[in-house]
Amino acid sequence: MTQDVYLSSGAIENVSAIFDQQNVRSVFVVADRTAYDLSGAKAKLVPALEGRECAFFDAFAPNPKYDDVMRGLHVWRDHPCDMVLAVGGGSAIDMAKLIGICSAHTCESVDLLTGLAPIEHAGPPLIAMPTTAGTGSEATHFAVVYVDGQKYSVAHEFVLPNYAVVDSDLTANLPASITAHTGLDALSQAVESFWSVNATPTSQGFASEALTLVMANLEVAVHNPSPDVRLNMCKAAHLAGKAINISKTTAPHAISYTLTSHFGVPHGLAVALTLGPMLVYNYAVGADDCCHPEGVGPVHKGLHSLLSLFEVEAAQEAHERIEALIVAIGCPTRLGDVGVQTNADIDLLVQNVNTERLQNNPRMLSQDALRALLNNIR
């Protein structure tokens, strides 16, 4: 499936034209209420929505859960529309993707979301408009959902939004802490995309641009943002999304989901906590524990390119650069600081690591190796 992308300051002004071109008479808005108001999207969308029927769904919390998706599906069934417009961070965009896909199928939604039933139909056309920079969810063909506390990734080409409208002005008032957490997600996606066993020259091209932009802009975006810096972070997030759309994410994401669902750690921070240690771990990959189908050669090549982007020669130095950035933007680097304190807490993380995402990591990660890595940063 193809996607039309509008990425600029003021990109939101293209929404009216999209509606007109597609003869849209009714719009189903899936929005994070806080983001909708504070980003300025609500006010700026008035001309585009005027004269069109509108249904609104905002009854969901960050990180989509099955019950939230079902509530949204009920609202959709009462008010089906010509187009869906998602406004918010990755949570709102994923929510809109999930409602859209469920609405197009007659099977049990829980089967669709947990992979027991195949995705066979596209949902209604979707415009994804991020208000964080970010997840890059507007550029990916998957959506994350928690069913009974378990994380599932709903993946299909039909999940990719038809339009990505990335307006950096919508991130102008983003609080510093959310800028930091979501920026760390873009950083992690760029780094992980580099070493993923599914990496291609194209995905590494997107990832390398994203990484360069994050390293140059994230700290300023948190402490002293300007419109240019906000735009650069939006580009970084979008490019990192395009990168993982090809390569998928790896071990830091696999470990992060329990940090979010059980310990309440914001998604981007949850991922970044193990990013540096995993870089050092992956760098030591050998023929006996390499998961790349073509062996260690391409993995070493990718990791060397990654080090040169960090302008360092050793993996430990890159780890230190990542850690310095995390500290500089006011975030913790130790698991103990986010509530992971006991051996039982570490066991919980080890036992619930997401095996699907772990398969994309270039180096095998046994339970013992993971426990040792986590204990090291407790």
Stretch 85-114 residues interacting with ligand NAD (CB under 6 A): 88-92, 94
Supply the minimum distance, in Å, between the C-beta of residue 256 and ligand NAD.
8
φ, ψ for residue 61, nearest 5 deg: -100, 165
How many residues sit in the footprint of ligand NAD (CB under 6 A)? 33
Stretch 122-181 residues interacting with ligand NAD (CB under 6 A): 131-132, 134-137, 140, 142-144, 170-171, 173-175, 178
Angle (deg, nearest 10), helices 296-309 and 176-195: 140
Following CA atoms 175, 180, 184, 190 in sequence, which dihedral angle do they give, to the nearest 10 degrees?
70
Following CA atoms 182, 65, 39, 237 in sequence, which dihedral angle do they give, to the nearest 10 degrees?
30
Residue type, 176: A
Structure tokens given for 221: 């975006």
Supply the minimum distance, in Å, between the C-beta of residue 323 and ligand NAD.
21
Beta-sheet pairing, 142-147 with 150-155: antiparallel
- Separation of CA 280 from chain center: 23
Stretch 328-367 residues interacting with ligand NAD (CB under 6 A): none
Supply the minimum distance, in Å, between the C-beta of residue 143 and ligand NAD.
5
Nearer to ligand NAD, 35 or 303 (CB): 35
CB 280 within 8 A of CB 316: yes
> Which among 311, 317, 276 has a CA at the least distance from the CA of 191?
276
Nearer to ligand NAD, 144 or 318 (CB): 144
d(CA 42, CA 354): 37
User: Which residue do the tokens 């003869």 mark?
Assistant: 23
For position 60 contacting ligand NAD by CB under 6 A, the verdict is: no
Q: Tell which one of 15, 24, 39, 239 touches ligand NAD (CB under 6 A).
A: 39
Nearer to ligand NAD, 260 or 282 (CB): 260
Angle (deg, nearest 10), helices 296-309 and 275-283: 130
For position 232 contacting ligand NAD by CB under 6 A, the verdict is: no
Supply the minimum distance, in Å, between the C-beta of residue 139 and ligand NAD.
7
Supply the minimum distance, in Å, between the C-beta of residue 260 and ligand NAD.
7
Supply the minimum distance, in Å, between the C-beta of residue 350 and ligand NAD.
20
> What is the contact surface with ligand NAD in residues (CB under 6 A)?
32, 34-35, 38-39, 62-63, 88-92, 94, 131-132, 134-137, 140, 142-144, 170-171, 173-175, 178, 182, 185, 267-268
